[in-house]
Amino acid sequence: MSKAVKSLMMKDLSEQLQRAEDVVFVDISKLDGVSNNRLRAASRKQSIEVLAAKFSLARRTLLDMGWKIDGVSGGPTTIAWGPDVVGLAKQAIKWEKEFPGTVVKGGYVGGQTVTPEEVKVLSESPSKEELIAMIIGGLMSAATAALGAINAPASNLASQIKQISEKEQAA
């Protein structure tokens, strides 16, 4: 491959990866055409972008972009990225189970290279939506408890007034 072609490919790669902050590196080279197509279709439904590239070229491009990708092995590599890194990790682990021959090779999360084991641990974490729901649930329960504490004295007072008025009516 000529230098001019490599340069154009690297430019295209960097343009596509500009919007990616966190990625997972996956080897899907052992998949047949139908499985590969199903994997890509499932990715699109999850808003996950998938890009197959020659790893040496991708590595040079990512290094030029300032990424420190150490420890990710070479060979056929597909780069996947999406809006939520936890969802991306969950999807990558799901691909390994659903499409035999798929291998998670690692990732790049928060400016650091992660191993395949760390991608698996990340996939077991709650997603962004789940964390937001937990936070909102915690805030709501605290607000409910605070309102209960504020209303308790007034409720007790009203109950006592009612008891006194019932005694007076009975007498």
- Does residue 148 carry a pLDDT above 80? no
Quick one: pLDDT at residue 1? 67
The answer to whether 47 and 82 have CB atoms below 8 angstroms apart is yes
pLDDT at residue 55 above 70?
yes
How would you write 26-72 as a 3-class SS string?
A: EECCCCCHHHHHHHHHHHHHCCCEEEEEEHHHHHHHHHHCCCCCCCC
Instruction: Assess whether 44 and 114 both reside in one domain.
Output: yes
Q: Would you tell me the crossing angle of helices 116-123 and 85-98 to the nearest 10 degrees?
A: 110
Model confidence band, residue 136 (pLDDT cutoffs 50, 70, 90):
confident
Same domain, 137 and 64: no
Is pLDDT at 149 greater than 80 in this prediction?
no
**Contact 134/126 with Cβ under 8 angstroms?**
yes
Side-chain-side CA neighbours of 20 within 13 Å: the count stands at 26
2: enclosing H helix or E strand: none
Task: Please indicate, yes or no, whether residues 112 and 152 belong to a single structural domain of this protein.
Answer: no
Model pLDDT, residue 70: 72
**Stretch 135-148: mean pLDDT:** 76
- The per-residue pLDDT of the chain, averaged, comes to 82
Strand order of the β-sheet with 112-114 is: 49-54, 76-81, 23-27, 103-109, 112-114
pLDDT tens for each residue of 63-107: 888 887 776 777 788 889 888 888 888 989 998 998 888 888 888
- Are 135 and 112 contained in the same domain? no
* 62 in the same domain as 30: yes
Whether 8 and 90 map to the same domain: the answer is yes
Answer yes or no: do 15 and 94 share one domain. Answer: yes
Same domain? For 7 and 62 the reply is yes
Domain assignment of residue 76, given as a range: 3-125
Residue where one domain finishes, among candidates 125, 142, 158? 125
Question: How many domains are there within the chain?
Answer: 2
Report pTM. 0.69
CB 130 within 8 A of CB 53: no
| Interval 50-67 mean pLDDT | 82
114, 170: one domain: no
pLDDT in tens, 156-171: 777 778 888 787 787 6
- Cα–Cα distance for residue pair 39/31, rounded to 1 Å: 9
pLDDT score recorded for residue 171? 67
